[in-house]
Structure 1
Amino acid sequence: MKRTLYVSAATAVVLVAGGPVAVAAAATADTARTVTSAAAVPGDVTAEAAAAAALKKYPGVVESLDLDGTVWHVDVISKDGKGHAELEVAADGTVTEENRDTDENAAEHKDLIAAKVTAEQAMKAAVAAHPGQVTTVEWDNDDNSAYYWHVEVKGADNKTWDGRVDATTAKVTTSTDSDSDSDSDSNDDDNN
């Protein structure tokens, strides 16, 4: 009985004396975790990594990929052309499925699925033509039904470079420099 009393008394002394220290240590650990996660640089995930993460979540073919702030919006078409998923890839690589459709018209996606040049290959070709970070890649065609990838690359000078990458040859067919650092949404009317 005396032994239990001594152990209880000793425990109480340790808790009283060590309590504030334990609370401070715990608070410091929480602050360290918060600072570390908040210190993540926006856009840590590249376009290529966002595409890979999206395809891991929803296998298929990337139809479009666009950086909006720190989040990548990725549209993926299933390999049979009947499925479509809208995904978001956060700066830390986390993938969230925003929408999924399983009754797409496969005929509408046959050219994308059969394309010799994928979105990933188009990004590589665009960066080879103009070094920088890809901010947008979109499957598109002109009035003559010639399919291509529209790719935007932001250079080290913060200028946005627009290019078309042929869906058969991966050849960059047009490019222009622009002082604009806006996203592709402002250019949608020009490209449709």
Structure 2
Amino acid sequence: MKPDFRTFPTGRRLLVAGIAAAAVAAGTAGTALAAGHGDDDRPAKAPAVTADQAMGAALKAVPGTVGEADLDDGAWEIDVLTGGGAWHEVTIDASSARVTADRTGRGSDAAEAQGLKNTKVTAQQAAATALKAASGAVTSVELEHEGAQPAWEVEIAGKDGVQHELLVDGTGGTVTKNKAEHDDHGKKEDDGKHEDGKHDDGKHGDQDHDDD
């Protein structure tokens, strides 16, 4: 019996089949890539240990004044200036509030130390004030000592996907800036920024948002 060559795939059929297989593979890879990046832009989950609790734990281990608190990779990095003028970087576990490291001698920053002495508002008070203007979880508190007066820069990750960056006056303890970014898979809105550092109605927080 002679073979029926009509049933054999020709070069054209092989080419079409190859293209189809490549398209399926590319589609599968694209789906996997999209799934892998789907949550990358969303705010990190709020830590079990708040910024206030982490700063309290750091001050218990090293008495002094907090100059900076930053949440990084599951741990709080707290910079503490002691009464003797020494800087300590205390690491606090963000899930248990346990002190995991205490490093000294990170560098003598006289300007930052002086700014910290000049401010009448502590880092803890600045974080509490910022949370009244923007609800969420504080992820960073840092003293901005450059300029005429010191101020605290506080970053808050909102539960609704809004990232807030606030400035709290280091003397009066009032919010002078509330910049919000809506993180919605590439879409960004800047609806809380006031170039003059003032709010039109004297209020802060959610009322500044212009929801779509």
Displacement of 1:148: 0.1
Of 171, 176, 179 in structure 2, the residue corresponding to residue 176 of structure 1 is 179
Task: Give the Cα–Cα distance (whole angstroms) in 1 for the partners of residues 135 and 59 of structure 2.
Answer: 25
Q: Between Structure 1 and Structure 2, how many residues are aligned? A: 139
Question: Paired residue for 2:143?
Answer: 139
Normalised by the length of structure 1, the TM-score is 0.66
Displacement of 1:114: 3.5
Instruction: Give % identity.
Output: 35
Question: Paired residue for 1:30?
Answer: none
Within 5 Å, give how 1:25-44 maps onto structure 2. 43-44=47-48
**Which ranges in structure 1 are unaligned for 5 or more consecutive residues?**
1-40, 182-192
Displacement of 1:157: 0.7
Tell whether 2:170 aligns with 1:167: yes
Question: Paired residue for 2:9?
Answer: none
**Which ranges in structure 2 are unaligned for 5 or more consecutive residues?**
1-44, 185-212
Question: Paired residue for 1:62?
Answer: 66
Of 131, 152, 155 in structure 2, the residue corresponding to residue 152 of structure 1 is 155
Tell whether 2:96 aligns with 1:96: no
Task: Give the Cα–Cα distance (whole angstroms) in 2 for the partners of residues 179 and 102 of structure 1.
Answer: 35
Within 5 Å, give how 1:70-149 maps onto structure 2. 70-80=74-84, 82-90=85-93, 91-101=95-105, 104=108, 108-142=112-146, 144-149=147-152
Question: Paired residue for 2:209?
Answer: none
Change (3 A) 1:119 1:111: same
CA contact (8 A) 1:42 1:70 kept: no
Change (3 A) 1:179 1:69: farther
When you count helix as a share of all residues, which structure comes out higher? 1
Task: Give the Cα–Cα distance (whole angstroms) in 2 for the partners of residues 88 and 127 of structure 1.
Answer: 23
CA RMSD of aligned residues (A): 2.3
Task: Give the Cα–Cα distance (whole angstroms) in 2 for the partners of residues 176 and 107 of structure 1.
Answer: 26
Secondary structure of 2:58 counterpart = helix
Normalised by the length of structure 2, the TM-score is 0.60
Secondary structure of 1:146 counterpart = coil
